Amino acid sequence: MTKLSLGAYPHMLGFEQLERLLERTAKSGNEGYPPFNIEQTSQRSFRITLAVAGFAEYDLAITVEDRQLVIRGRQSDDDADRVFLHRGIAARQFQRSFVLAEGVDVGDAIIENGLLHVDLTQTMPETVVQTIKIKKG
């Protein structure tokens, strides 16, 4: 199977960054932990909710790196002196990545009842019409 790239289309100029973004998204390999929801909260706002039971706010880190929202979780290892007869609650570290479109800004992050909510807002770019003057050569 031949991989098509956006560079193969002569009418699509300057989309190399978009192609890299799509490749990065495909490689992110978010396995399924922790589970998450994405909901639209208004015409131009969204909320990502991750189930992070057992994580405190200081166990979580949220960053935006090159238009990619990255949420990491790592619990402190204070279970060394505890003896578990059964351990069914996951306590592993995780990293979840979400690619953000241009004009999407990350707002508040709130943790409540084992759920981490991250609010996003989308700003609409102004439509710009540019007229190019033709010079005589």
pLDDT digits (tens, 9 = 90+) for 89-108: 767 899 999 989 888 999 99
> Residue 98 has which token pair?
């979400």
What's the pLDDT score for residue 12?
66
Read off the DSSP letter of residue 121: E
Sequence-ordered alpha helix ranges (H) in the chain: 16-27
pLDDT digits (tens, 9 = 90+) for 45-84: 999 999 998 899 999 999 998 889 999 999 876 667 888 8
Contact indicator for 37, 51 with CB cutoff of 8 Å: no
| CB-based burial, 20-55: b 16+ in 10 Å, e otherwise | ebeeeeeeeeeeeebebeeeeeeeeebbbbbebeeb
| Dihedral of the alpha carbons of 96, 116, 120, 31, in degrees to the nearest 10 | 20
What's the pLDDT score for residue 74?
93
Give the separation between CA 108 and CA 98, rounded to whole angstroms.
Answer: 16
Give the separation between CA 88 and CA 100, rounded to whole angstroms.
Answer: 33
Higher-scoring residue by pLDDT: 75, 14: 75
pLDDT over 60 (residue 2): no
What's the rounded mean pLDDT across residues 35-51? Answer: 95
> Residue 109 has which token pair?
């992050």
What's the predicted TM-score (pTM) here? 0.72
Read off the DSSP letter of residue 85: S
For each of the domains in the chain, give its residue range(s) and CATH number, in order of start. 1-30 (no CATH), 32-122 (2.60.40.790)
> Residue 61 has which token pair?
């880190």
Q: How confident is the model at residue 26 (pLDDT cuts 50, 70, 90)?
A: low
